[in-house]
Amino acid sequence: MGGVDPVQFPASFRLRAPTHGARGAPTHPEESLDMDNGTGSTNPFEGLLRPWFFPALGVTVAVAVGVFYVAGMLSESAVGALVVVIAPLALALTVVRPVLDRSAGGTAAALLLAGALLTLLVAVVPSIEAVRPGEPLFVGEFDRADQSVALPEGTAGRVLLLVSTPLGGAGEPQVNFRLGGFSEPVQGKLERTFSYARVGRGGRARVAHDHDADWFEARIPEGAREIRLERIQGQSAAGLRVAIYREWLSHAAAWLLSLVALAIVAAGEVRIGRDSGSVIAAGVALGFGVVVSYNVTPSQAVMPSLWAVVLGAIVGAPAAVLVRLVLRRFLPPSPAKKGRRPKGEEEDRE
């Protein structure tokens, strides 16, 4: 053809047919010609990049566990333990999603990974303590006030007390008690409360809730040889049972580490330069762990643990937003990552 020189294309050049919209126009005409320089997607986590994947996975596993529980194949404590592990694990994986889809790298990725690991530990450890604490160091039974029970060797230090008694009588009984022999006296209350549930169309039924067991933090001093029931008042159908467990993580330490974990995740998200949902997921997980540690016992583990997911979101999500807002005033985003969105989110928008 006269003096027209042939055009040479690189070996990696390939022609790709354009995709068409509803009216036949190419949606991305610029993608019809693709120069592949060997930088195609090789991410092994490609299928995990959708924002809904990890929460959906957690819900699916929770439903499966619920089926086994209803069928009587798992105990209350075992199901509760699975719930308090699965929920924080799914949320911790959501925290590191920007790392999996490679939209976060360098410092941001390191912060998110460290924050996710700390979040998982702080959420799971106190929850497992509350739901499935294992074998107690010591169990004491008290039938009357001023009764003492001898302590075995090796119980000194920080401990958790699981105090329980069956509530007697009708109505709304309460049992108030005070235990001595610790660095500070342990006193508390066990009670029955009532709520109303909807029955049929417009009907309501009164439902009783026996709060007949609760956790208490205490410290047994060196050289202590016994604990005693200094006072007990109220209606109980049997004696007061006190089970002593070694404390792994105190409430004060859990609160402090929760703030640290939240700050680390928030710093990683700020460095990314966009809202990835990581800090919200961390806040919900940490709130979940706090709620479980204060409100769940081995005998009533399933429903309180499920409600803790909702309460954890109510408590943790606003705290996460607040921490992120504060850090944005002091920590600039990474210029290399600012405004970049992962491939999964771009496809969802299209």
DSSP 175-215: EEEEEESSSS-EEEEEEEEEEEEEETTTEEEEEEEEE-EEE
Q: Which residue type sits at 319?
A: A
Structure letter (DSSP) for residue 337: T
The residue type of 45 is F
How would you label 229-252 residue by residue, b for 16+ Cβ within 10 Å and e otherwise? bbebebbbeebbebbbbebebeee
Provide the residue-wise pLDDT of the chain in tens; the chain has 350 residues: 555 556 555 555 555 555 555 455 555 444 444 444 444 445 555 445 555 565 666 666 667 666 766 766 777 788 888 888 988 998 898 888 887 777 666 888 899 999 999 999 999 999 999 999 989 999 999 988 889 999 988 888 999 999 999 887 777 888 999 999 999 999 999 988 877 777 777 778 777 778 889 999 999 999 889 999 999 988 887 889 999 999 999 999 999 999 999 999 999 888 888 888 889 999 999 999 999 999 889 888 888 888 888 888 898 899 999 999 998 888 777 665 444 455 444 544 44
- DSSP string for 132-182: ---S-SEEEEE-STTEEEEPPTT--EEEEEEEE--B-SSSS-EEEEEEESS
Which residues are bridge partners to 234 per DSSP?
175
* 178 and 235 Cβ atoms separated by less than 8 Å: no
Q: Which residues face 139 on adjacent strands? A: 243
For residues 133 and 102, is the Cβ–Cβ distance under 8 A? no
Do the beta carbons of residue 175 and residue 187 sit within 8 Å? Answer: no
Domain chopping of the chain, boundaries: 52-133+250-349, 144-238
CA-wise closest residue to 130 among 7, 12, 276, 299: 299
Nearest alpha carbon to residue 92 among 63, 57, 66, 41 = 57
